[in-house]
Amino acid sequence: MSNEQRGARRNDGPRKSQEIFDATLDLLADNGYEGLTIEGVAERSGVNKTTIYRWWPSKGALLGAALTGARRLDFALPDTGSLQGDLEALLAGMLTLLTTPPTADIATAALGAVTHSPELADHARDFFADRLAREQPVFDRAVARGELAPDADPMLLVDLLAGAAWFRIVFRQLPVEEDFVARTVNVVLNGAS
């Protein structure tokens, strides 16, 4: 077994997977999904394209892996001591992602690509499932504190928050008011009344 294969087993990818993921996301942000190529990723990351193809048979599979595995898209899981505070921190993180280059360009390009690529849509579902699994402790703690009913749907709560962020920033291209995060979380948790 080669050193690359040993490293890949630990990291679920080749030894230089972070360089590959970073190159993938950079090219996506710069050129969109149509301009993203395995050859371009290989050149930018300094990895042979056969290595990339060995791990990811298509650019959709590569982009899906990059979205899930890239460190630049990692986030710190909040633990503020309250569900309101944790959801505000999660929403603030989403807003940062959607307003700060290069992640804003990556998110927008990925969204556009998902609508045209069934293969990428499958990988996007994996990405969002991974994110929800990472966020699950927020909801588990809230249930344990009695702030959330045990049968509450964490996916729905996250979808409502993320939807508000995406619509405000990406689709409507409106500024985010100072109290947007607190107001949005309050409406999601307590209703509009």
* Residue 137 preceded by cis peptide, ω within 30: no
Please count the other Cβ atoms lying within 10 Å of the Cβ belonging to residue 26: 20
The reported pLDDT for the residue numbered 11 is: 47
Element (H, E) at 155: helix 154-166
pLDDT tens digit at each of 193 positions of the chain: 343 433 333 346 788 999 999 999 999 999 999 999 999 999 999 999 999 999 999 999 999 999 989 988 887 899 999 999 999 999 999 999 999 999 999 998 998 888 888 888 888 888 889 999 999 999 999 999 999 999 999 999 999 999 999 999 999 999 999 999 999 999 999 998 7
pLDDT in tens, 128-162: 899 999 999 999 999 999 999 999 999 999 999 99
Q: Write down all domains in the chain, each with its CATH number in brackets.
A: 3-69 (1.10.357.10), 75-190 (1.10.357.10)
- Stated pTM of the model: 0.84
Looking at the chain, which runs of residues are DSSP E strands?
none
The reported pLDDT for the residue numbered 35 is: 94
> How far is the C-alpha of 81 from the C-alpha of 35, rounded, in Å?
44
| Residue 19 buriedness (CB in 10 A; 0-12 / 13-18 / 19+) | middle
